[in-house]
């Protein structure tokens, strides 16, 4: 064996040893006992329908922006139990009026992360939320008058997307999610009759945080 062959063989052995010694991000993230913490910004737009009993009283469009910090713990490899308290800002508009709603919701968000490359994951989640506070303001387009009141409601959905982890045992974390949710809101004015608003909507969310 020539000197060049010896050098090449030694280099290959060293490279293989270093490759085995360097853990992948997929091994260090989404493992049992690890944590994630992040903030997520999401947006959706869809049509809505207001009902009173079996009568449809209004149709229009809805836009929603949500900000939600989240903390989660991997109870098993890949299986994350997460939750948080978020704030959403809704705008519902039809021909007669515009409703502007601010809601505070507690969300439970179990998810599963499947590694597909070094640091890259597919994830699926099942978010469920209960509205615990907030209010709304209704502005009439014809008279210019407005009413205010409180809201209650819930939402449930299913979603998925991609996640990427930087670092091995700890580091940065980014997530892109597309989900579909069903939401039911009851708008209760200070005086007058409550209105129930139900709709389903797709939303896109982007989250950034850390894993440790």
- Residue bearing the bigger pLDDT, 28 or 115: 115
Cβ-proximal residues to 122 (8 Å cutoff; 6+ apart), any chain? 113, 114, 116, 160, 161, 162, 163
* pTM for the whole structure: 0.75
Position 194 in a domain: yes
Residue from 155, 166, 204, 181 nearest 40 by CA? 204
Position 15 in a domain: no
Give 145-176 pLDDT, tens digit per residue: 778 888 889 999 999 999 999 887 788 989 99
Question: In the prediction, which pLDDT does 48 show?
Answer: 64
Domains identified in the chain, total number: 1
Position 16 in a domain: no
Contact 186, 153 (CB under 8 A): yes
Position 47 in a domain: yes
Radius of gyration of the chain, Cα coordinates, nearest whole angstrom: 24
Contact 86, 68 (CB under 8 A): yes
Instruction: Specify the CATH number for the domain of residue 202.
Output: 2.40.160.20
Cα gap 132→106, rounded to integer Å? 7
Give 4-21 pLDDT, tens digit per residue: 443 334 343 333 433 343
Position 22 in a domain: no
Cα gap 118→170, rounded to integer Å? 15
Residue 35's domain comprises 27-211
Position 80 in a domain: yes
Lowest mean pLDDT among 34-38, 156-160, 185-189: 185-189
Q: Which residues pair with 210 in a beta bridge?
A: 37, 172
Question: In the prediction, which pLDDT does 60 show?
Answer: 74
Average pLDDT over the chain reads: 81
Report residue 123: phi and psi, to 5°: -135, 150
Cβ-proximal residues to 68 (8 Å cutoff; 6+ apart), any chain? 39, 40, 42, 84, 85, 86, 87, 107
Position 13 in a domain: no
Position 3 in a domain: no
Cα gap 38→206, rounded to integer Å? 10
The answer on pLDDT for 196 being more than 90 is no
């Amino acid at each position: 064996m020539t000197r060049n062959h010896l050098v090449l063989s030694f280099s290959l052995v060293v490279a293989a040893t270093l490759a085995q010694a360097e853990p992948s991000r997929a091994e260090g993230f989404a493992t049992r006992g690890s944590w994630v913490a992040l903030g997520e910004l999401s947006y959706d737009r869809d049509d809505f329908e207001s009902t009173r009993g079996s009568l449809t009283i209004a149709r229009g469009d809805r836009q929603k922006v949500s900000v939600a910090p989240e903390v989660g713990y991997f109870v098993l490899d890949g299986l994350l139990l997460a939750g948080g308290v978020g704030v959403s800002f809704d705008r519902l508009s039809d021909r007669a009026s515009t409703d502007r709603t601010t809601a505070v919701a507690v969300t439970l968000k179990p998810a599963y992360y499947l590694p597909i490359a070094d640091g890259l994951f597919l994830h699926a989640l099942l978010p469920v939320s209960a509205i615990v506070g907030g209010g709304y303001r209704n502005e009439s387009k014809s008279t210019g008058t407005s009413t205010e009141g409180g809201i209650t409601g819930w939402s449930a959905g299913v979603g998925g997307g991609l996640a990427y982890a930087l670092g091995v045992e700890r580091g940065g974390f980014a997530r892109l999610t597309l989900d579909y949710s069903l939401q039911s809101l009851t708008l209760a004015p200070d005086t007058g009759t409550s209105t129930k608003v139900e709709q389903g909507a797709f939303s896109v969310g982007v989250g950034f945080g850390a894993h440790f």
